[in-house]
Amino acid sequence: MSLHRIVLTGGGTAGHVTANLALLPRLREMGCEIRYIGSHDGIERRLLTEAGVPYRSVDTGKLRRYRDLRNLTDPFRVLRGVFQARRLLREWRPDLVFSKGGFVAVPVVWAARLLHIPVVSHESDMTPGLANRLTLGCASRICCNFPETVQRLPAGKAVLTGSPIREELLRGSREDGLRRCGFTGEKPVLMVIGGSLGSVAVNEAVRKNLDTLLADFDIVHLCGRGNLAASPDGRPGYRQYEYLTEELRDVYAMAELVISRAGANVICELLALRKPNILIPLPLEASRGDQILNARSFERQGFSLVLDQHALEREAGLLPEAVRAVYERRDMYRETMAHADAANGVSAVLRVLCETAG
């Protein structure tokens, strides 16, 4: 049986949707009928509707690691979501369900299991998040980004595929990026990504060292919504934005070096684009530790240099030293990334989907 009809699911954050968006062009080329099941008001509704994918929503919940009255009611919402998803899947009769994770995926994957519909899931981080752990037993195959993750998943299910990267990111124009930022191109460009919501620690570290960094680099700084600084913008060689959408590919294209957090999606984009990078993962007190594991894996594989946020806050000159070190070894980083097994996972994930449906 070939792959004719597929249901995609996942949501809650953009990171749980981007892999699905990256697969859309190739799935459409294959002639697949694509439908999406998400939450009622999550970011996935807007993103998939804009992409022209038929969208239906189900009830979902979230298991919180803190006291909240919703922890008592959300299990019933998830159960209701299972029956809603089951009804949709019986109506659509897909060959396969692909889950990118997030709590919206839980009722959909459970419903697919009840109907004996094959499920392929994708785990972005080194260790599975809670939602994916709740659905591991339902998945026929589990795609992942890190070699270490294969050993942490059920035997025989894990496949190292990398993360699907949106094709438009690979088609950026350095000239358009320079023109947008007003850079001459005489200096190499340092790109700073704080994440969709930005990062106070990363933003402060860059701004604290701005004079030193600007001596050798032009800097484009994606600092997150509400995090624009009043004074530095307008200085020669420095441009800041809250975030970029369509223009992001051109900014990537002109960047010689990137400073970033270590979320799985962004570091997989850096790998696919072969951008030498410095990763500053979220510390343990601000996360479950997944970014630290992601970053250390990339460092072991020779793709990245990792800085500890607390060390960065203590040592004023640490960031400029790291930038100089990575830039001097930029060709070595690019060469290592060029030989990565899982640089862009679109083809690898599609192969797993077709094999599983068949």
Q: Are 22 and 52 in contact (CB under 8 A)?
A: no
Task: Identify the helix (H) or strand (E) that includes residue 225.
Answer: none
Q: Which of 165, 4, 180, 211 is nearest to 92 (CA)?
A: 4
Separation in Å, CA 343 to CA 167, 318, 337, 340: 13, 29, 7, 6
- Bridge pairing between strands 158-160 and 189-193: unpaired
DSSP H helical segments within 35-160, as ranges? 43-50, 70-92, 105-114, 130-135, 147-150
What is the C-alpha to C-alpha distance for residues 205 and 319, in angstroms, rounded to an integer? 7
pLDDT at 72: 65
According to DSSP, the residues that pair with 9 across neighbouring strands are 37, 99
What is the C-alpha to C-alpha distance for residues 132 and 129, in angstroms, rounded to an integer? 5
Sign of the C-alpha dihedral computed for residues 238, 245, 106 and 67 taken in this order:
positive
Q: What is the pLDDT along the chain (358 residues), one digit of tens a residue?
A: 479 999 999 988 777 898 899 999 999 999 999 999 999 988 899 999 999 999 999 998 766 555 665 666 677 888 999 999 999 999 999 999 999 988 899 999 999 999 999 999 999 888 887 888 889 899 999 999 998 899 888 888 999 999 999 889 999 999 999 999 999 999 999 999 976 555 888 999 999 999 999 999 999 999 987 788 876 556 889 999 988 888 999 999 999 999 999 988 899 999 999 999 999 999 887 777 889 999 999 999 999 999 999 999 899 899 999 999 999 999 999 999 998 876 678 999 999 999 999 7
Q: Give tens-digit pLDDT for 148-185.
A: 899 888 888 999 999 999 889 999 999 999 999 999 99
pLDDT at 1: 47
What does the radius of gyration of the chain's CA atoms come to, in whole angstroms? 21
pLDDT at 232: 58
Task: Identify the helix (H) or strand (E) that includes residue 60.
Answer: none
What is the C-alpha to C-alpha distance for residues 110 and 128, in angstroms, rounded to an integer? 17
What is the value of pTM for the model shown? Answer: 0.85
pLDDT at 305: 98
SS (H, E, C) 124-136: CCCCCCHHHHHHH
What is the C-alpha to C-alpha distance for residues 208 and 257, in angstroms, rounded to an integer? 18
Q: Count other Cβ atoms within 10 Å, centred on residue 284.
A: 10
pLDDT at 63: 61
Exposure string of 209-236, with b = 16+ CB inside 10 Å and e = fewer, is bbebbbeebbbbbbbbeebeeeebeeee
Which structural domains are found in the chain, ordered by start?
5-163+343-357 (3.40.50.2000), 169-338 (3.40.50.2000)
Quick one: CA torsion of 13, 15, 17, 23, rounded to 10 degrees? 180
